[in-house]
Structure 1
Amino acid sequence: MLVFSLLSFVYLSATALAATYSQSDSYRGKDFLSGFTHWDIADPTHGRVNYVGQNEALAQNLTFTSGDTLIIRTDDKTVLDPSGPGRNSVRLYSNKKYKNHVTVWNIRHMPEGCGTWPAVWESGESWPDEGEIDILEGVNDKGLNRASLHTTSGCTMPASRTMTGTSVGDNCDVAATGNGGCGVSSNNAKSYGPAFNKAGGGFYAMERSDAGVKIWFWRRSSCKIPSDVLSGATQIDTDKWSTPFAAFPSDSCDMGSHFGPHSIIINLTLCGDWGAAAFNSDGCPGDCITYVDQNPGAFGNAYFDVAWLKIYE
């Protein structure tokens, strides 16, 4: 009986600490230059962009770091040759890969404007076999933030979940959904685009565990930001956070078989498969690619301003 009690205590203690994580990595300003790689090959989403390497990005001021600031942006000066490459832009992915972990992003500004498709996300090398988690994503300034999972077959979400957002698809299989995956739209008007920027940005957090994936957003002026998030604490307890806006439980989606080691990615593409298709319905004029080619001045606000990123394991 004593052995059983001790084992029960150990089990309950482990369960109680399951949502407690310690900081393993922290990126601020120039840390992104050594901890992340500028991805300079073709955009897999077929965007009208030309992703450049780190040296070129720094030389063109498409990547800029100083103190607690990382800026990544697209070129806003060049009229493009329709037969030439796309608009120069930046895509960063972390050199280190992560399995179960929490990320907390402190973002002051995100890209805005017709034709923009900004994203903060995670993915494995073997896509979609190792899965994808989209934390912050949208196109053409339209709507609210959408969080999504993209997987191989056999990963679905229950119709009823504990979250504040709205489901926009329960089948995460990219083959069955035309790469749409299973998504959740935030209900916070300041979670994306110009409204996000006017509010001074905010904090995005993602927890990946054997129990599934949860994603939170707090606008900068919110009085509900957890103290460990606000301070970038060395330890966090996600059980003490508010209800996530997006929840992807593992009930019908085994995390171990659908998600592998992930790189953390932040990028800005233009048009692309999603952005171009939604360009006119989102209220943008003419043809997306022509718009991007001929209107460099439209992209003066197409940049990320990141104060820091913290990772916990």
Structure 2
Amino acid sequence: MHSASSLLLTTLASLLSATYVHAATYSLHQNNVGTDFLSNFVWETTANPPGGRVEYTTQSDALSANLTYAHGDTFIMRVDDTATLSASDAGRKSVRIKSNEQYTTHVAVFDIRHMPQGCGTWPAIWEVDDTVGVAHGEVDIMEGVNNHSPGYSTLHTPNSCTMPTNGRNQKGTAVGNDCSSTTTESDGNNGCSVSSPFSSSYGPTFNANGGGWFVIERTSSAVSIWFWARGDDTVPAAVSGGASTIDTGSWSTPPIANFPSSSTCDFSTNLKSHNIIINTMLCGPWAGERYSASGCPGTCIDYVNSNPSAFTDAYWDFAALRVYL
């Protein structure tokens, strides 16, 4: 017979084990492959941010113009590469999609074969409730501009939030530890940004390698983002194979970015329910600002207006987007 103290220790150990398993093991909730994107996402037609040169299209218009294409295990989102624009045009046509569902604790696996590349492009995958800006927080899973490596992962918060400088168990390099932002992505605050350590995680190098997998895990205690390039033999089989369950606790590879909740950044007040958003912006407050420094010709607006063929490679090709709860 167990003593009272040993029974208590056994019970506590069981509770701790159960808590850990619950936090680390997730079951497939939504499997977006090919035409699944058409029913599980909405096509947004939001306005340009300052300096932007894009016109987001409806789903029906995107399908008819072949800016969206879905068949088999292929889902394409691309920028128009045929029209020469005048100053009176709203912008070059592009696609921005938002998940119908919102998420808090979850894992999302993005299996991507190709991302938009080229001068003037600003491809991004992010999570936010864009009906309220960053009032409910924002997590940029991956984004970059103008073919200028590396890509970045960033946390934006509405309230005071600072990340620790050291001890975050991440492969990437922190380039900002003040996450607080008062308005939107265009307010000039770069947030808590982490640069990827892998050239294969962004732009032409990513595409030449056949893409790879981005994974986000969000819990009440941390937000973590991983990347594995196509052909990387360290990618977990559950990630590459689209398994029905994922156990992040079994992964030996540290994330490229890790944002912990703490006394200096309380996630319960800074992060609420988020949609998943995927888009390709043209110019705007980041791609436009970094345009010349990226070695791109002329001005961003003029380039986007006058060079439609330059955007032939400005497209996303998703093999899958899997959400686990």
Equivalent residue for 2:308? 296
Preserved contact between residue 53 and residue 282 of structure 2 (Cα < 8 Å)? yes
Cα distance per residue 1:144-184 (max 9 Å; x no partner): 11000111122110001211100010010124982311100
- Letter in structure 2 aligned against 1:144: P
Equivalent residue for 1:149? 155
Equivalent residue for 1:5? 9
Give the drift of 1:113.
Answer: 0.3
Equivalent residue for 1:82? 87
Give the drift of 1:105.
Answer: 0.3
Q: What's the secondary structure of 1:243's corresponding residue?
A: coil
Equivalent residue for 2:38? 33
Equivalent residue for 1:190? 200
Q: Alpha carbons of 1:76 and 1:312: their partners in 2 closer, same or farther (altered >3 Å)?
A: same
Match of 1:250 among 248, 261, 268: 261
Equivalent residue for 1:263? 275
Is 1:214 matched up with 2:224?
yes
Q: Which runs of 4+ in 1 moved over 2 A?
A: 43-46, 175-179
Give the drift of 1:46.
Answer: 4.7
Equivalent residue for 1:173? 180
Preserved contact between residue 146 and residue 287 of structure 2 (Cα < 8 Å)? yes
Preserved contact between residue 134 and residue 182 of structure 2 (Cα < 8 Å)? no
Q: What's the secondary structure of 1:102's corresponding residue?
A: strand
Structure 1 unmatched runs, 5+: none
Taking the aligned partners of 1:210 and 1:221, their CA distance within structure 2 comes to: 32
Match of 1:66 among 71, 77, 81: 71
Q: Alpha carbons of 1:5 and 1:67: their partners in 2 closer, same or farther (altered >3 Å)?
A: same
Match of 1:15 among 19, 26, 30: 19
Structure 2 unmatched runs, 5+: none
Give the drift of 1:128.
Answer: 1.3
- Letter in structure 1 aligned against 2:20: A
Equivalent residue for 1:286? 298
> What is the alpha-carbon root mean square deviation over aligned residues?
1.4
- Letter in structure 1 aligned against 2:16: L
TM-score after normalising by structure 1: 0.97
TM-score after normalising by structure 2: 0.94
- Letter in structure 2 aligned against 1:284: C
Give the drift of 1:45.
Answer: 5.7
Cα distance per residue 1:75-112 (max 9 Å; x no partner): 00000011221001000000011111110000000000
- Letter in structure 2 aligned against 1:240: S
Aligned length in residues: 313
Give the drift of 1:41.
Answer: 2.7
Give the drift of 1:6.
Answer: 4.4
Taking the aligned partners of 1:115 and 1:281, their CA distance within structure 2 comes to: 12
Taking the aligned partners of 2:50 and 2:231, their CA distance within structure 1 comes to: 34
